[in-house]
Structure 1
């Protein structure tokens, strides 16, 4: 994920705390041949006391565009992380991880953040767009990270194919 090494320990600590929360869910993909993990996705229901909720809310409050719908934070599932080993990317593993993660989620929408890339030209953006995720915030900066992020939203449920 190219996190700044200075924030890596804080991210790991936050993920460990997240795993103990009610509603936390994690999916792991394993190689058919070796059994080794090749991908994971995890998340939880979003709540106002969460750091991510607070940062995105501030971004929505600061946004000048009238299209910024602040109600997206009222009830959502946060897809906190999606990772697929580089040699396994582009084979549908990320799609299966996300669709399985969101299957049965009892929230009306899912939100996530992903690093911005020029013209959305990477596999992550391709996956999220193909699943129907749309913009909430663009070029948003989280404290402690120099990169710009897109915050994306998708109404739930997903169908078996991953789209509505």
Structure 2
């Protein structure tokens, strides 16, 4: 089977958002109770500056998705990361510079039966090629010894720690905030 990675226009992304959210729910093990709110949020994301999306498919089925956009101070995620840095003694000059020009990797998910086959690597690589920012930032749930596909992917692409063991408001799980300079 041949897997293709494809850029999605904002219209294409919005159109297939329900299918993409299903992949997200399955990959994250979330309940379908949040499906409608996630579809709405994903469709609103296309309005963000430099919105970019890619999907992986086999010609018949969508197998993975990644999307993001340029981060800025008015976004909840940005405000939470800044709070995390303040709680750890304040952002350094380099961190403040990073927060002024970054691409937020908002979501990246691959259908569980296709994980570990390099699809996530291809998705994230293509997404970041079109990011048009100085840095890429993302968050991922913490796992013991970074022992999962997500951490392996991010480390293989050069992401380093910005904040560890961070709790977003409204979530009981600790997260790693990671960053990578972009060319």
Question: Shift of residue 150 of structure 1?
Answer: 0.2
Alpha-carbon distance between aligned partners in 2 of 1:116 and 1:137, rounded to the nearest angstrom: 11
Q: Taking structure 2 as the reference length, what is the TM-score of the superposition?
A: 0.77
**TM score, norm. by length of structure 1:** 0.85
| 1:102 and 2:128 matched | yes
Q: What is the CA-CA distance between 1:19 and the residue it aligns to?
A: 1.6
In structure 1, distance between residues paired with 2:166 and 2:132 = 27
- When structure 1 is superposed on structure 2, of 60-69 and 84-93 the one drifting more is 60-69
Q: Is 1:54–2:41 an aligned residue pair?
A: no
Question: d(CA) in 1 for partners of 2:177 and 2:97?
Answer: 14
CA distance change for structure 1 residues 43 and 148 in 2, over 3 Å: closer, same or farther?
Answer: same
Structure 1 residue 132, shift from structure 2 partner: 0.4
Distance 1:145 1:7 in 2: 14
Between 98-107 and 12-21, report the one with greater CA deviation.
Answer: 12-21
Local SS of the residue matching 1:107: coil
1:30 aligns with 2:57: yes
Is 1:119 the counterpart of 2:145? The answer is yes
Structure 1 runs not aligned, ≥5 long: 158-164
Partner of 2:46: 19
Give, in whole Å, the separation in 2 of the partners of 1:3 and 1:115. 13
1:42 equivalent among 52, 55, 67: 67
Local SS of the residue matching 2:40: helix
* Residue 86 (1) aligns with residue 112 (2): yes
In the TM superposition, what is the alpha-carbon distance from 1:143 to its structure 2 partner?
1.2
Are the equivalent residues in 2 in contact too, given 1:83–1:94 (CA < 8 A)? yes
- 1:3 Cα deviation after fit: 4.7
Deviations 1:51-73 (A, max 9, x none): 10011111111114887933321
Aligned counterparts of 1:4 and 1:57: Cα–Cα separation in 2: 29
Summarize the Cα distance change of 1:11–1:143 in structure 2 as closer, same or farther, 3 Å threshold. Answer: farther
